[in-house]
Amino acid sequence: MSEIGSIVQDTAHSPPRWQISGDWTLGHYSHLQAELSRLGTLAPDQPLDFSLLGQLDTAGAALLGRWLGSERLTSLARQNPELTPERLALLHTVGEALQECPESPGAAHQSAAYEVLEEVGVTMTGLWDRGRALLGFIGLALESLARTLLQPRRWRVTSLVAHIEQTGLNAIPIIVLLTFMVGAVVAFLGATVLANFGATIYTVHLVAFSFLREFGVLLTAILMAGRTASAFTAQIGSMKANEEIDAIRVLGLNPMELLVLPRILAMMISLPILTFIAILSGILGGGVVSALMLDISPTLFLGILQSEVPVQHLFVGLAKAPFFAFIIAIIGCLEGFKSGGSAKSVGDHTTSAVVQSIFMVILLDALAAMFFMEMGW
């Protein structure tokens, strides 16, 4: 039967010593913690007697370690020969762990301004690390692409075609539906505003310019960021969690060539095609609204498009598509490789991939808009 541990001051010796007896185990943790709280801090010069110590586990060792302190633990072997080497090793190990683990985490109160600055610093450091990781992964992908292009036997044509189907062909319905409705909304809002100036006919120009230069490629890229980047992250993250990527390396294959390059090339092929389809669908939506509500016939609508809207605006919109596709695929694959072995990690990195992809697409679009404006294109 176990005996509850206790600490009693033995005054029969000179100087008085503390007698540690009974079992110091998890079952008596509350009682022992109360005893130590009542005794307070142990003086450095007070001797200890462990001759009556019963059972000892990590819970009891943690209590003794906090009460004795790290400096006293190092001198136990010299002052208390009755302790066995196993118990000394347990006390030393627990003492080292306690030095790295504060007794009351979060007890120190910090000012609100300090916490805000700390959070800003942590966020900026995280952004810097993500930027470096993204640039490094881009370099690795470009290096793998350059090395593989000159060796046709290493091309993954089957994987490329499968990803083109998943990222491009299967995305056509949602792209067409969304851009058609946005084109109709743009035409309706444009007509509402332009009617006040008697310039309803310029609704055609508004729809054409907006979709040729911006809306077609931007809406498509945002949809692909939410649909495809998340799929890339989830697929690669699941493979990493199942240790399939390690198996690929064991087989002597390169995960970049096998998993990343087909996805990047598929996106760079699919997104320009989807952008062209989105432009046609958006203009069609604007044409339907113009015909039904503005008395602009399809013949007049197409005539204005042909005679007054330069084709260079189409090229401007399509030129941005490969860059958007590349950054979306890179971020999706990178976040997949960064995910851990748990479902929560895969979910977190999937969310991060979508957010980062949409942010980078909008950032690149803004930079491209300023560049084309300065060039006069």
Task: Give the tokens for residue 244.
Answer: 């399939």
Nearest residue to 287 (alpha-carbon basis) of 278, 277, 297:
297
Task: Give the integer Cα–Cα distance in Å for 223 and 226.
Answer: 5
Task: Give the tokens for residue 229.
Answer: 């980047």
Task: Give the integer Cα–Cα distance in Å for 368 and 371.
Answer: 5
Q: How far is CA 191 from the centre of its chain?
A: 42
Q: Among the CATH numbers 1.10.10, 2.40.360, 3.40.50, 3.30.750, which is that of 6-100?
A: 3.30.750
- The pLDDT score that the predictor gives to residue 70 is 63
Q: In what order do the strands lie in the sheet with 17-24?
A: 6-10, 17-24, 48-56
Which residues of the chain, if any, have pLDDT below 50?
105-107
pLDDT (tens digit per residue) in 80-124: 666 777 877 777 777 777 766 655 544 455 678 888 888 899 889
Helix (H) or strand (E) holding 55: strand 48-56
Task: Give the tokens for residue 166.
Answer: 């998943």
Task: Give the integer Cα–Cα distance in Å for 211 and 280.
Answer: 8
By the 10 Å C-beta count (0-12 exposed, 13-18 middle, 19+ buried), 52 is classed as middle
Domain ranges of the chain: 6-100, 141-375
Q: Are strands 48-56 and 6-10 parallel, antiparallel or unpaired?
A: unpaired
CB atoms within 10 A of CB 219: 22
Per DSSP, the three-state class of 258 is helix
